[in-house]
A and B are shown apart, each in its own frame.
Chain A
Amino acid sequence: MEENVTYTVEQVKSKISEAFPAAVKFESKAKPRRLFMTADKGSLFNLCKFMKDQLGFDHCSLVSGVDRCDRMQVVYHISSFSNNITAEIVVDIPRDNPEIDAITPLWEGANWHERETYDMFGIIFKGHPKLERLLLPADYTFFPMRKDCDTGRH
């Protein structure tokens, strides 16, 4: 990333759609300093790397999983300190094989978020340095945040 270059939301949008014409779709929602997009499972890591290296998104705020019953989603909130933009990337992954590339190698701050998402949803982050149970005791066998997990039973 070049120093002291700031981009507006529109510039970021155009740069991303130039680099990833097929994989990334922007949502119509528009709010100041926010960017909403959906990305492909396969191109997520490259998208994040592009955003970090070229566009100055240097802070991973949140990685959260969502169980949509027919599919899983991973939602990334990635913000930029220089541009003051927060991007929301929604990635769909199949429910029977929940695997996605880890972004911990890019942002160390995503480490525990991904661990927690694994802990709660059972989503496997490939390339994560230490994907173990974080909040729950290691001997738990269920993933509590999945919608089909009946918490009353445990």
Chain B
Amino acid sequence: MAEMWINMGPQHPMTHGLWNMRIKVDGETITDAEPVIGYLHRGWEKMTEDRRYPQIIPMSDRLCYGSSFTWSHVYCMAVEDLMGIEVPEKAKYIRAMSDELQRIGNHLMWLAAIGPDLGNLTIFLYALREREMFLDLFQSLCGARMTYNYCRIGGVRNDAPPNWDRDLVRTLDYFEKRMNEYEELVDRNKVFRMRMEDLAPLSGKDAVNLGITGPTLRGSGVKYDIRQNDPYEIYDELDWHMCTADEGDTYARYRVRMDEMRMSVQIVRDILKKMPKTGPIRVKPPRNAPVGTGMARMEDPRGESLMYVIGDGTDKPYRLSVRSPLFVILSASPVLLRGNKIADLPSILGMIDVCMGETDR
């Protein structure tokens, strides 16, 4: 068969989101690839120049709908850096806890999405079932299922409701049992392993050069996690370790994310132990930001997210710039795809957990 270009997208079951993967195929083998993005571009950064600082929090929730809390968190940290605000101790703990719960929820959505990518619908429904539990937790914490509007400049909006800790511990206990079920379905399944092992290997050196961060980088054996290497909030006081895998193939990326879910459960348990029972959860920020710059980076479920904000003395940011982890990982997707079969394309791209809202902005 002669080589031909195939447009996979914008409407395609492989694209979790909305983009277009142009691939050049020779029979079944991909010889070249070119992602076409921008289908969700809404001028986020331009619009923030016309909003006051607190008004941007719900907008940053909608940057990535899979992990909305981490995005409003990184925005608040950047503005706090600009304004020079020190967040109260308890708010830091609540933020870190919400981060980890969000990480579990987001990884469950990723686990759900790779099921249909590999051709199995069961794991999709199992993961969605458990995701609902974490959405319920968030719902009782801040009233929304997905877009929370919970983080505030200088703290968080409200304290956890009564008996929330009890529900949380129960959910975590239950979830750890369910994790075994997933591993029985996926890790002990020969066909899953056949599809994922030795697929799209990426060496640590290449991954660093391509700017890949997050679980995809740690799957290539590079020990780098912003929570540990550039700690924010209270991560340096917690009892946890970084999850890495050395193989660099798709299965290693899968393993890293699964381990991260378990690790997040451990972190949340540790936070519950160490969190102060009482104390302020929020300080009042000034209305106008000083002239200067602020920058915050954190470990998003997908990688390194960074926000850079320039204040000009008014109540609106002069410039707000966003680094999306997926924006960079997606630019590296041709490297991952070249030489593989068409059938592997959804699993390779599904394994980097595509979320187009933050990529296109």
Contact = CB atoms under 8 A, between A and B. Distances in A.
Direct contact between A and B judged by beta carbons closer than 8 A: yes
* A interface residue count range (under 10 / 10 to 19 / 20 to 34 / 35 or more): 35 or more
* B interface residue count range (under 10 / 10 to 19 / 20 to 34 / 35 or more): 35 or more
A108 B211 contact: yes
Secondary structure type dominating chain A contacts: mixed
Interface of B: 37-38, 41, 43, 45-46, 208-213, 222, 224, 229-230, 292-293, 295, 297, 304, 306, 308, 310, 318-319, 321, 323, 327-328, 330-332, 360-361
Contact of A113 (B41, B229, B328, B361): B328
Contacts, number: 87
B295 A88 contact: yes
A41 interface: no
A50 B218 CA distance: 26
Given A134-B38, A145-B45, A145-B46, A108 B319 contact: no
Interface of A: 29, 33-34, 58-62, 64, 66-67, 75, 77, 79, 81, 84, 86, 88, 107-113, 116, 120, 133-137, 144-145, 151
B208 A62 contact: no
Contacts of B328: 109, 112-113
A59 B208 contact: yes
Contacts of B37: 134-135
A110 B38 CA distance: 18
14 contacts: A59-B211, A59-B213, A77-B308, A79-B230, A81-B224, A84-B230, A86-B297, A107-B211, A109-B210, A109-B212, A109-B332, A112-B331, A133-B38, A134-B38
A86 B210 CA distance: 17
B83 to A, nearest CB: 14
Given A33-B230, A120-B45, A144-B46, A62 B308 contact: yes
A43 to B, nearest CB: 21
Contacts of A144: 43, 46
